Homo-oligomer: A and B are copies of this chain.
């Protein structure tokens, strides 16, 4: 299990935990002190740093980070990517390689991912591939990235035929979740992050679910004490799962609760139309509904989850992807999901509240769920 320490002076507003991966272990810092919180830890040594950010985040945070890093690296470069899931592709990834080579960066360069999940996934993948692997640090600036994508070493880009189809497992050296970065996060993206926090309840911790029911208003009001607890507990659960199954041989797949349906929604609508967290939100309702129809959970559990998701301002119904055969289109998209094997879709279902299981389901039942759960 991960080690958790709370400095007494800062109460719940600052914490650190460790992703337990042997020689690839690394700390996650949770703080509201801005990029200077990095100084709590020894930074990875290097001949240069490259800050990778996007057009939205760079103007807000890159100068402060630049200042912190200037004291640690002989050179600090930066590259700014276009913002949005629709840019998570080869063309954008190449901007990072172009910058690295233009500045003559060698194998001792350290990449700093400053942004949300898209920036983190692409920076991590660039770090995995540049000269066959260099170090990187995650500074997630969205709630979703703080509680999910920045932790665990999954990196990659999308392909027109599927999300995250090309990538690598590459662990960062350090993750800093800066809660102050959430102050400027649009409400829609805050809600999208909430979907990944809610996820940890049904799959691992019903106490967290109950806590979220009590504190959803505080979280949406960006109360830092509440956010600190939600981020820390989410990272703890993720750390435990990733530590037990780094390369998704089994257990780790439970973190994809809601994602099989969610990825179909994202791909079917065109990347960027639905936020990842929004797809996961509607996808969790569908996966819970499927669990119920398979006799695993009660209707009351599904209703409880649906209500919490709705309170977070998230969609509880999926979109219609095809007017003629909507369920068929969902199934088609889900069969190319990475968890599928020989065309058989493996769903993350809720075995009992607080516990997830990976299994197949009859197409007919999945069609029923899609028909019942999609608007209008």
Contact = CB atoms under 8 A, between A and B. Distances in A.
Interface string A67-86: 00000001000000000000
A101 B336 contact: yes
B168 A342 contact: no
Q: What copy number does this chain have within its complex? A: 2
Interface stretch (A128-136, A195-203, A287-295, A350-358): A128-136
Contact of A104 (B101, B168, B247, B343): B343
Max chain B C-beta neighbours (<10 A), residue from A104, A107, A156, A166: A166
A104 B132 CA distance: 28
A340 interface: yes
A154 interface: yes
B168 A128 contact: yes
A154 B132 contact: yes
A55 interface: no
Interface stretch (A157-165, A178-186, A208-216): A157-165
B168 A129 contact: yes
A363 to B, nearest CB: 16
A169 interface: yes
A247 B130 CA distance: 14
A225 B360 CA distance: 54
A24 interface: no
A222 interface: no
Contact of A169 (B98, B104, B132, B166): B132
A130 B336 CA distance: 12
Contacts of A167: 129, 131-132
Interface string A252-273: 0000000000000000000000
A306 B81 CA distance: 49
Given A94-B90, A130-B165, A132-B168, A338 B107 contact: yes
Given A90-B90, A341-B47, A342-B47, A168 B102 contact: no
Interface residues on A, range: 35 or more
A243 to B, nearest CB: 18
A335 B107 CA distance: 12
Nearest to A336: B104
Given A97-B159, A159-B97, A336-B104, A165 B131 contact: yes
A130 B165 CA distance: 6
Contacts of A161: 98, 101-102
A165 B108 contact: no
A106 interface: yes
A101 B165 contact: yes
Given A97-B166, A168-B168, 8 more contacts: A97-B159, A98-B159, A101-B159, A101-B336, A106-B343, A129-B129, A131-B338, A132-B169
19 contacts: A74-B342, A97-B166, A98-B161, A101-B159, A101-B162, A101-B336, A104-B343, A106-B338, A106-B341, A106-B342, A108-B342, A128-B168, A129-B156, A129-B168, A130-B165, A131-B338, A132-B154, A132-B169, A168-B168
